Amino acid sequence: MRAAPHILLKDVKKSFGPKQVLNGVDLAVPKGRSLVVIGGSGTGKSVLIKCILGLLRPDSGTIEVAGENAIGLKGDERERFLARFGMLFQGAALFDSLPVWENVAFGLIQGRRMERGRARDIAIAKLGQVGLAADVGRLYPAELSGGMQKRVGLARAIAADPEIIFFDEPTTGLDPIMADVINNLIVDCVKRLGATAVSITHDMASARKIADDIAMIHRGRIIWQGAARDVDRSGNDHVEQFIHGRAEGPIQMDVLKA
């Protein structure tokens, strides 16, 4: 018998005005697995993650995390819920006004009210895990390169040893070598924590590297989900076109119609 999914979405819909972004998403992520959601720009990948985190409220459907409802949480209940998660944002979303170590330790100091000295030690250790020296902790985000900012964002995402980690376009804007470094770090961090991971990307090299399972979202629906090793024989025209980056195929026809 299969274990209950760690994250479960059923018929989740979300629209912004007349634009239907999520159109009945069904998705199950088993505990400890790394799922990568692929799809083109504007297909609802980021909205999907924001709905799970409660940053956006879905119009309908259900979202459960570890068997508990994740929609409409407030106050302490929401804080406890969010303490399960770490998130690496597309642009790293580091706080400009704080030095690097305080960015990494932010969730520990403000969210978990840990003493600053102890939080700083953990932050420096986490920076080490993503390949950054302790003296980087004194710098400000504006003084870092894009790749270093992503590493700091990753250190912040894993600082509180979360049980679930989200990665939003983790390799966007990076050169191929730095992208591969980030992919390796993601795989390493997720395995070390034993966390459940959900990543969204349109970078297939990244998807192949970090995914146990892959799902493809198109027009607000999951149109294919399977093991990462099966993505090359999905038998789905949309997936085929996407993973090979072909201009011709059903996806472009949809775009032209839209």
Partner 1 sequence: MNPLAPIGTAVFGLLAEIGRLAWFTRDALLQGLTPRIYFGQILRQLFRIGYSSLPVVGLTAFFTGGALALQIYLGSSRFNAESLVASIVALGITRELGPVLAGLMVAGRVGASIAAELGTMKVTEQIDALVTLSTNPFKYLVGPRLVAAVISLPLLVAVGDTIGIFGGYFVGTRSLDFNAYAYLKNTADFLKLDDVTSGLIKAAVFGFIIALMGCYHGFNSRGGAQGVGRATTNAVVSAAILILAANFLLTSLLFKVE
Binding site for partner 1 (CB under 8 A): 50, 53-55, 79, 82-83, 85-87, 89-91, 93-96, 106-107, 110-112, 156
DSSP character for 216?
A: E
If the CB atoms of residues 144 and 222 are measured against partner 1, the closer one turns out to be: 144
Q: For residues 100 and 126, what is the distance between their CA atoms, to the nearest angstrom?
A: 11
Query: Shortest distance, CB of residue 2 to partner 1, whole angstroms?
Result: 29
Query: Shortest distance, CB of residue 178 to partner 1, whole angstroms?
Result: 20
Which neighbouring-strand residues pair with 213? 35, 227
**Buried-state track 20-41, b at ≥16 Cβ within 10 A, e below 16:** ebbbebebbbbebbbbbbbbbe
If the CB atoms of residues 64 and 102 are measured against partner 1, the closer one turns out to be: 102
If the CB atoms of residues 50 and 209 are measured against partner 1, the closer one turns out to be: 50
Structure token digits, residue 206: 């990244």
Query: Shortest distance, CB of residue 187 to partner 1, whole angstroms?
Result: 21
The set of residues, in sequence order, having a beta carbon less than 8 Å from that of 255 and lying 6+ positions away, is none
Query: Shortest distance, CB of residue 170 to partner 1, whole angstroms?
Result: 14
The set of residues, in sequence order, having a beta carbon less than 8 Å from that of 53 and lying 6+ positions away, is 82, 85, 87, 166
Query: Shortest distance, CB of residue 208 to partner 1, whole angstroms?
Result: 26
If the CB atoms of residues 16 and 244 are measured against partner 1, the closer one turns out to be: 16
Position 42: which residue type?
Answer: G
3-state DSSP assignment of residue 98: coil
Query: Shortest distance, CB of residue 194 to partner 1, whole angstroms?
Result: 20
If the CB atoms of residues 112 and 246 are measured against partner 1, the closer one turns out to be: 112
If the CB atoms of residues 40 and 86 are measured against partner 1, the closer one turns out to be: 86
- HEC profile of 104-133: HHHHHHHHCCCCHHHHHHHHHHHHHHCCCC
